[in-house]
Chains A and B, each alone.
Chain A
Amino acid sequence: MFRSVYKNTFKILIRDKITLFWTIMFVVLLAIMFKMTFSTLDEIDKFETLPIAASKEVLQDEYFKLYLETIEKEKYIKLIMSDDNNANELFEKKKIAAYIKDEENIVVGKSTSRIKETIVKSLMDGYIQNKSLVMNILIENPNVNLDEILKFNTFIKDESQKSINIVSTYFYTLIGMQAIYSYLWGLKVMYMYEANLSTQGKRNTISPINKKKSILASIIAVWTISIITSLFCLGFISFILSVDIGNKLFGILLIILLGTFTGVSFGSFIAVSNKQNIEFKNGIGVGITMMWSFFAGMMSSYIKILIERYIPVFNKFNPVALITDGLYSLAINNAGIRFYENMIYLIIISVIFVFGTMFFVRGKKYESL
């Protein structure tokens, strides 16, 4: 019985082209749009050695020169000796990213990205702030590993990572939104089985088939559909749009499983928790999913940072944010506690929705139809 219910529900709902369209194409189109918007930022995907020019005057400061040469050795920059005129020419040919006129006067090229600018400035700050320290160290040991002392490495790594992931985060949020869009399927299942929601529901309810088992089998069927659509979108974003989603397949799969289940249970909860018509319920679903996506940073990642700073608990109960953060923590190879914390919160949210749904359908007979 379980198998035939599963098969039937799968067969019926996989033919629902409109819902399929919305859960797949909407996300695919948004992803393409994001890709087009962000494609100008592609250069920051990889951190490269920055070509930097320095004036003859500034290189007369031996310690500064030593400092620059040291970090050049570490392949953060490539140093080019130059003067004002020559620098202008190099800028025009886009041969350099910045020109160090003197310690406090750095010219950045018009076409230099913000990230590169930040990196150059922070390298300079690193020197100025720690000038005496740096000088002392360099005097004693010119071959010292400045990295260790000034923590450039982690800084630059973080900076470049962040830049990858600021772009990727938008796509992670999109994947999160798509998973929660599975609420549409959860909604449909409850409409199939609840006598006060549809005539099909009445028919199923008066049949000799155990309703709880049928609902369970059908929920699993739509969960399967959600997983397939989710993986499809993920594949599209990763392979066609070449967005980096990392290579932690197990983790990614876990996110998709839990994320789509949260979506499905969210939908079944919307379906049974109120007496509005189906259009209204769909409106609630879209509205809340959009709100979650917004606060997870789909429009601006700044929002997510703000929420994390001021009301961190909000995004703990925002499944889109949890999925986004889960994928992010996988991508930056930080799949430890942070990842599992996100997954646990997803489980908590789905359990709440499942119990909420059970609370509303627990009655065996209806008060009114």
Chain B
Amino acid sequence: MENLIEVRGLVKKYKELIAINNVDLDVKKGKILGLLGPNGSGKTTLINCILSLLDFNKGSIKICGEEMTPESYHIKEKIGVVFQDVGVFEELTVYENIDYFCSLYINDKEKRKKYVNGAIDLVGLNDFKKFVPKKLSGGLLRRLNIACGIAHKPEIIILDEPTVAVDPQSRNNILEGIKKLNKEGATIIYTSHYMEEIDLICDDIVILDKGKVIAKGTSEELKNSIEVNEKIKFDTKKLSQAVLKEIKEDKNVIEALYKDGSCEVIYKKGNNNLLNLIKTLNKHNIEYEAIHLSMPTLNDVFLELTGKDLRD
């Protein structure tokens, strides 16, 4: 499949600090690529390098097969970016703001009007067209920020944590909008440190930590690549150390923890994990309830690869 964006061997240093350490990245046409990483992992830096905003020390960046430079106006035309920080004019209304940024790309007034209204529809700001940014709530402001970045219907859309500090309803609204843009043909880079979002909307996922790509693949591939395969959780009033030890002795168990009346057992790939657990519990006449079985999450992937939690 055709790569719209190709990053090879990218290194970016801020003085001593290596913010991007030899990163390769492929963004396939028509896909949503998720860039997952904790705070400070280098997501924003990587994006700014791709956009030719930031100078970098080593490596190459190609967009649509061409070297990206600050003068690549014909490439810039195709890109829409939603930056992490809200960047709108306080002096302009919602409509005027979107129109302003759209006018940097679209000259034709009629066409622009259609596009601006389309963007307003997409992010659901129809009732707020005449509002100035100051009068918008945090979530609505984020939606405006998004509309300003995508109104010109770009082929490539880059969104840097567009859902930070947004309530769940706005968040869903935003995620749906992004999916819709993708369905209409846009290729998307989506960064976040919310793994659920990434898991939900992205076709491909790249996990960044300390400026390095530590894993990439589809959600399935990533989850299959780790040792953890399933997690079983159940509640019980009492669980002796001896029983816990016996549970741990199962060759498939990676870890078993009991705390505050709740036990979590983490298993490798294997058959009959649940059955074996229940057998052990029954043998010791332990009453249990609320048994819950779950598949690994991206957080488990991150945990296993780095030894730390994604959400701190």
A209 contacts chain B at the CB level, 8 A cutoff: yes
B148 contacts chain A at the CB level, 8 A cutoff: yes
Known: A195-B53, A365-B70, A366-B53. A203 touches B92 (CB 8 A): no
Type the 1/0 row for B45-68, where 1 means its CB is closer than 8 Å to any CB of A.
Answer: 000100111110000000000000
B74 contacts chain A at the CB level, 8 A cutoff: yes
- Assembled-state Cα–Cα distance A202/B83 (Å): 8
CB distance from B49 to the nearest CB of A (A): 9
Interface-facing stretch out of A10-18, A48-56, A70-78, A127-135? A10-18
Known: A209-B104, A368-B14. A203 touches B53 (CB 8 A): no
The residue in B14, B52, B89, B148 that gathers the most chain A C-beta atoms within 10 A of its C-beta is B89
Chain A residue at smallest Cβ distance from B71: A364
- Assembled-state Cα–Cα distance A208/B106 (Å): 10
B164 contacts chain A at the CB level, 8 A cutoff: no
- Assembled-state Cα–Cα distance A210/B73 (Å): 8
- Assembled-state Cα–Cα distance A365/B53 (Å): 5
CB distance from B256 to the nearest CB of A (A): 47
Set of chain B residues within 8 Å of A16, measured between Cβ atoms: 91
Type the 1/0 row for A203-235, where 1 means its CB is closer than 8 Å to any CB of B.
Answer: 111111110000000000000000000000000
Instruction: Evaluate contact between A15 and B105: CB separation under 8 angstroms.
Output: no
- Assembled-state Cα–Cα distance A200/B69 (Å): 20
Set of chain A residues within 8 Å of B149, measured between Cβ atoms: 203
Chain B residue at smallest Cβ distance from A192: B89
Q: How many residues of B contact A (CB 8 A)?
A: 32
Q: How many residues of A contact B (CB 8 A)?
A: 28
- Assembled-state Cα–Cα distance A366/B44 (Å): 14
B86 contacts chain A at the CB level, 8 A cutoff: yes
- Assembled-state Cα–Cα distance A195/B44 (Å): 14
Set of chain A residues within 8 Å of B53, measured between Cβ atoms: 195, 202, 205-206, 365-366, 369
Instruction: Evaluate contact between B55 and A367: CB separation under 8 angstroms.
Output: yes
- Assembled-state Cα–Cα distance A12/B100 (Å): 10
- Assembled-state Cα–Cα distance A356/B201 (Å): 48
Known: A208-B104, A367-B54. 4 other contacts (CB 8 A): A15-B91, A364-B70, A365-B70, A369-B48
Q: Which residues of B contact A (CB under 8 A)?
A: 14, 48, 51-55, 69-71, 73-74, 76-77, 79, 81, 83, 85-89, 91-92, 100-101, 103-105, 107, 148-149
A-B pairs, 4 with minimum CB distance:
A199-B87, A207-B104, A365-B55, A15-B91
17 contacts between A and B (CB under 8 A): A8-B100, A198-B87, A199-B83, A199-B86, A199-B87, A202-B87, A203-B81, A203-B101, A203-B148, A206-B52, A206-B53, A206-B79, A207-B105, A209-B104, A365-B53, A365-B70, A369-B48
